[in-house]
Amino acid sequence: MFERALRLILLLLLAYGHSAHAENPVTSARLWPAQDYTRLTLESKSTIRYNQFTLSNPERLVIDLEGIELSASLNELANKVSQDDPYISSLRIGRFKPDVVRLVLDLKSQVKPQLFSLKPVGEYGHRLVLDIYPAVPLDPLMALVEQQLAASEPSGSSAEAGVKSAVASAPPPPVAEVQPTYPELRNRVLIIALDAGHGGEDPGAIGRRGTREKDVTLSIARKLKSQIDATAGMRAVLIREGDYFIPLSGRVEKARRAHADLFVSIHADAFIKPHARGSSVFALSEGGATSASARWLAKKENEADLIGGVNLAVKDPYLARTLLDLSQTATINDSMKLAKHVLKELGGINTLHRGRVEQAGFAVLKSPDVPSILVETAFISNPTEERRLKDLGYQEKMAHAILSGIKRYFAQSPALSKHKVALGD
């Protein structure tokens, strides 16, 4: 009787020990490499307790995960590291202690890691997120200059020749300078920041045929960049160059660091009923939204940070700023002018959802000094428009319509008369 009771106690202890290790399995492990930063996401059923530290010579980042199971998802993570990853060269995983799984990331250079937890939202459970940023922030304007230098042959336009001459003669910026300026480049080229909505953990809206908004917006943005770069006196900067997430404030910040003259955020609309259709253009509002639908859309787009995942410990200088100042008012006025031109051009290739520009509190449009618009290209929830959005030819037409609106805005903007672009270019 005593031996039977002892065996039962031992079995219970073993079962408890097993459940303690398996009570919080990692259900999914994802890796999003990008030049801006690389993100590693571990999704689990409950919050993951962790400790992190770095090692030098060689550079490594160590993360100890407490109370989790060494699951197949974790073991497969090492195989997901890409050779093209800018920051991670390899990744090792193993059980360090009975209740601790250790991740060791071998790094290609010094980095600035951010590790934080996210509560469940939408289809995601608890997430532990590691963002690996470069030790020195990337300079989008310098990247634009390097693109000019990389051009093997001149295009023949006087504007581009002027840019190359200026770049060749300009001295390199001091190493200690955080935000270098390039007056020669700025006096000759109009810079357009193109923001492909969503990305990475945040797919955006999904059509009935499985088309993801993040894929459509990036494809249109790339086509628009090609068209802008082929226009004399203009260059485009992609805010998001691949399938990864950038916080809303980070999109605003990158456009400002690139000294952008305009900011265009590209999206695809969605509604619960499939008959909703048409293109729309939005600008920021100083006060309330111009309609209930605009207010609803702004709320939906502003929730992108919840899905994509943002480190709340990092202060946001843009989303919390007060908009009641003269510079912001002037910027909104210019945004409205740009939006009207783009909306008119979109009406030539698609039905307009509303015949006027709408305004609401879109967080991604809160740049104090860069005219900014948000373009809802079409309704991805409408089967007909979803099919069009997937068509590469239609994406080219959509990009051309946006560019035509941009060119008309510049042609009629007195403040930018020295940059005027001919409508026929």
For 349-374, the pLDDT digits (tens) are 999 998 999 998 888 898 888 999 99
- The yes-or-no verdict on residue 14 having pLDDT over 70 is no
Mean pLDDT of 233-238: 94
- What is the pLDDT at residue 57? 94
Give me the chain's average pLDDT, please.
Answer: 83
- Residue pair 314/114 in contact (Cβ under 8 Å)? The answer is yes
Could you tell me which residue, 368 or 341, shows the higher pLDDT? Answer: 341
Q: 193: closest CA among 330, 408, 365?
A: 365
Name the band, by pLDDT with cuts 50, 70 and 90, for residue 23. low
Name the band, by pLDDT with cuts 50, 70 and 90, for residue 110. very high
Name the band, by pLDDT with cuts 50, 70 and 90, for residue 147. low
Q: Model confidence over 318-331: pLDDT tens digits?
A: 444 444 455 577 88
- The yes-or-no verdict on residue 207 having pLDDT over 80 is yes
Name the band, by pLDDT with cuts 50, 70 and 90, for residue 167. very low
Mean pLDDT of 192-218: 96
Q: Choose the most confident range, by mean pLDDT, from 176-185, 296-305, 384-393, 412-421.
A: 384-393
DSSP reduced 3-state for 125: coil
- Residue pair 381/274 in contact (Cβ under 8 Å)? The answer is yes
- What is the pLDDT at residue 21? 46
Q: Where along the chain do the CATH 2.60.40.3500 domains lie?
A: 21-134
- What is the pLDDT at residue 226? 97
Q: What's the CA gap between 372 and 367, in Å, rounded? A: 7
Least confident of 133-137, 159-163, 174-178, 339-343: 174-178
Name the band, by pLDDT with cuts 50, 70 and 90, for residue 419. very low
Encoded tokens for 378? 């079409």
Mean pLDDT of 197-207: 95
- The yes-or-no verdict on residue 268 having pLDDT over 50 is yes
- The yes-or-no verdict on residue 162 having pLDDT over 60 is no
- What is the pLDDT at residue 368? 83
Mean pLDDT of 172-189: 47
Q: State pTM to two decimals.
A: 0.78
Phi/psi for 113 (5° steps) reads -85, 145
Q: What's the CA gap between 403 and 267, in Å, rounded? A: 16
Q: Which helix (H) or strand (E) holds 327?
A: helix 326-346
Name the band, by pLDDT with cuts 50, 70 and 90, for residue 137. confident
Q: Where are the alpha helices (DSSP H) in 23-157?
A: 72-75, 140-150
Residue 303: other Cβ atoms inside 10 A: 15
Q: b vs e for 62-87, b when ≥16 Cβ sit within 10 Å of the residue's Cβ?
A: ebbbebbbbbebbeebeeebeeebbb
- Residue pair 188/366 in contact (Cβ under 8 Å)? The answer is no
Mean pLDDT of 87-92: 96
- Residue pair 370/261 in contact (Cβ under 8 Å)? The answer is yes
Percentage of residues of the chain with pLDDT beyond 90? 60
Q: What's the CA gap between 65 and 143, in Å, rounded? A: 37
CA angle 63, 66, 68 (to 5 degrees): 110
- The yes-or-no verdict on residue 253 having pLDDT over 70 is yes
Name the band, by pLDDT with cuts 50, 70 and 90, for residue 298. confident
- Specify the fold of 21-134: Immunoglobulin-like (2.60.40)
From start to end of 72-167, where are the E strands?
Answer: 88-97, 100-107, 111-118, 126-134
Name the band, by pLDDT with cuts 50, 70 and 90, for residue 410. very high
The CATH architecture annotation of domain 189-419 reads 3-Layer(aba) Sandwich (3.40)
- What is the pLDDT at residue 398? 98
- What is the pLDDT at residue 328? 72
**What is the dihedral sign for C-alpha 291, 296, 299, 300?**
negative
Q: Where along the chain do the CATH 3.40.630.40 domains lie?
A: 189-419
- The yes-or-no verdict on residue 424 having pLDDT over 80 is no
